[in-house]
């Protein structure tokens, strides 16, 4: 079954891959099957059609799922706990309130993109949206500004960080698959993400906010409004808590650059605390004190916060694992090598190739994480045959592609639609357009950066 209508083996593999992706599109988008189940079936189908033995396909699926979640599941769990501590302590509110006071009402949309960027570093996009809604609705009520004018910048900050900046799972998956340098990836990600978020957020938000009038539903306004008498934690301690994972990882990266053979005990220590798992673990424990005990919470409260944060991410973890399983079958079946051979012979620009693959899968499945995970399995063999490529920029290109054209098969699309009380056409003109701007502008800045570094 490994050949099809007399075609070469590589061509046959690509045909079955296309069929598997179409299967994913139809069953996830049209038939509304759960992505985890659909990804497992697609992986099983592709492996069998590619000529793998049945048990080998099963072993490939379990290997891919386990290998992907080995680090990512820990990162997700710890990041979600950190986000929960921010929500319960009022830390996110403190950051937003302080920045808004500093920026002033006329420039509040610039404050919101910065808030989204900072708050989005340790938490998932969906968590960040829920966490910042109280701030968004309160700012809209106080300033009388368009909800989209201040909401789009916030969403842009959250989304660009989700797609490009470690320790988010999507870029971490690509970093692991491509064997990229974490420190350089973070540095390049910030260089690309900041101007991309500015154009797609405050500038586009002001333009679209004058054309689409979105008003939150009264019940949501009341539910997510800030409590005026709420005592908030200090700004600087909250900022330190949020940025601690990135700071620790940067320390590890800098130490490894300075001491290339990593022989000094201090370098070993810095690289240890700079590991993404250890950095997040330290940050979460620190948050228990800085945003927990210091705020008057009891140990039972902190335990409850940590416990409550985990159930909502179970589905996310499984979907990521399913994407890893599909990715491993792509590799073990030889699909990755087939695509690599074709791309290499065609002299494809690796940055454009990674962006396009991730973009196509994103449009097909509606999930940025699935797009990033699956694209990593396709692009990694191409990188292996392309010595001298800037691996870190390929990571960012994959992330940028995974953000494009969020539409009706994306949970984020419906979340924004409902919370912003918009119609489907209004959501397409605002949210979908913003996501596409993030993706395309991100690619443009990555290409510019590739000409420099």
Distance, first Cα to last Cα, the chain: 45
Give the model's pLDDT for residue 431. 92
Q: How many domains does the chain have?
A: 1
Within a domain: residue 86? yes
pLDDT score, position 343:
61
Report pLDDT for 202. 93
Asked if the structure places residue 1 within a domain, the reply is no
**What distance in Å separates the CA atoms of residue 168 and residue 146, rounded to the nearest whole number?**
30
2 assigned to some structural domain = no
Give the residue carrying structure tokens 């800037």. Answer: 390
Residues of the chain with pLDDT under 50: 1-2, 223-224, 226-228
Q: What are the C-alpha distances in Å from 373 to residues 321, 342, 410, 449?
A: 9, 21, 16, 24
pLDDT of the residue at 226:
45
For residue 165, give the DSSP letter. Answer: S
What pLDDT does 413 receive?
78
pLDDT, position 12: 82
179 belongs to a structural domain: yes
Q: Tell me, what's the pLDDT at 177? A: 83
Three-class DSSP category at 167 = coil
Structure confidence by residue, pLDDT tens digits, 84-98: 787 778 776 777 678
pLDDT value of residue 228: 47
Burial class (CB in 10 A: 0-12, 13-18, 19+), 406: buried
Whether 92 is in a domain gets the answer yes
**In 5-146, which ranges are continuous DSSP H helix?**
9-25, 35-49, 54-89, 91-103, 108-120, 125-143
Cα gap 379→360, rounded to integer Å: 13
Whole-number Å distance between alpha carbons of 447 and 441: 10
Residue 429 lies in a domain: yes
Q: Which domain holds residue 144?
A: 9-452
Quick check: helix, strand or coil at residue 297? coil
pLDDT attached to residue 442: 95
Q: Is residue 196 assigned to a domain?
A: yes
Q: For the chain, how big is the Rg over CA atoms in Å? A: 22
DSSP 346-396: TT--HHHHHHHHHHHHHHHHS-HHHHHHHHHHHHHHHHHT-TT--HHHHHH
Residue 174 forms part of a structural domain: yes
- Provide the pLDDT for residue 66: 86
228-231: long-range contacts (C-beta < 8 A, 24 or more apart)?
Answer: 230/90, 230/93, 231/90
């Amino acid at each position: 079954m490994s050949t099809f209508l007399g075609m070469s083996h590589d061509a046959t593999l690509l045909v079955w891959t296309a069929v598997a992706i179409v299967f994913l599109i139809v069953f996830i988008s049209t038939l509304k099957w759960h992505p985890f189940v659909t990804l497992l079936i697609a992986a099983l189908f592709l492996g069998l059609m590619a000529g793998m033995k049945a048990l080998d396909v099963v072993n490939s699926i379990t290997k891919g799922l386990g290998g992907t979640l080995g680090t990512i599941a820990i990162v997700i769990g710890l990041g979600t706990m950190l986000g929960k501590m921010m929500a319960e302590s009022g830390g996110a509110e403190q950051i937003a309130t302080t920045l808004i006071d500093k920026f002033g009402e006329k420039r509040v949309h610039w404050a919101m993109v910065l808030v989204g960027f900072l708050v989005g570093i340790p938490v998932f996009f969906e968590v960040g949206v829920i966490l910042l809604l109280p701030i968004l609705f309160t700012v809209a009520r106080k300033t009388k500004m368009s909800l989209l004018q201040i909401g789009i910048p916030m969403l842009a900050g959250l989304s660009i960080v989700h797609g490009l900046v470690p320790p988010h799972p999507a870029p971490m998956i690509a970093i692991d698959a491509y064997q990229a340098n974490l420190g350089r990836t973070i540095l390049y990600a910030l260089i690309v993400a900041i101007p991309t978020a500015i154009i797609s957020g405050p500038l586009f938000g002001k333009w679209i906010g004058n054309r689409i009038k979105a008003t939150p539903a009264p019940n949501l306004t009341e539910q997510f409004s800030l409590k005026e008498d709420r005592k908030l934690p200090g700004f600087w301690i909250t900022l330190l808590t949020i940025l601690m994972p990135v700071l620790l990882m940067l320390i590890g990266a800098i130490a490894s650059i300075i001491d290339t053979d990593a022989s000094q005990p201090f370098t070993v220590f810095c690289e240890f605390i700079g590991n993404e798992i250890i950095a997040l673990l330290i940050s979460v424990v620190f948050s228990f004190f800085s945003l927990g005990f210091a705020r008057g919470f009891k140990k039972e409260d902190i335990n409850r916060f940590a416990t409550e944060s985990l159930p909502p991410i179970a589905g996310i973890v499984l979907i990521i694992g399913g994407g890893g399983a599909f990715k491993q079958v792509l590799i073990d079946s030889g699909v990755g090598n087939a695509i690599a051979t074709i791309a290499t012979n065609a002299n494809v620009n690796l940055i454009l190739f990674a962006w396009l693959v991730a973009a196509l899968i994103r449009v097909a499945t509606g999930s940025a994480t699935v797009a990033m995970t699956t694209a990593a399995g396709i692009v990694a063999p191409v990188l292996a045959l392309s010595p001298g490529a800037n691996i870190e920029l390929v990571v960012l290109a994959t992330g940028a592609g995974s953000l494009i054209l969020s539409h009706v098969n994306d949970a984020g699309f419906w979340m924004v639609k409902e919370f912003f009380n918009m119609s489907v056409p209004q959501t397409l003109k605002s949210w979908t357009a913003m996501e596409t701007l993030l993706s395309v502008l991100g690619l443009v800045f990555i290409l510019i950066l590739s000409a420099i570094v």
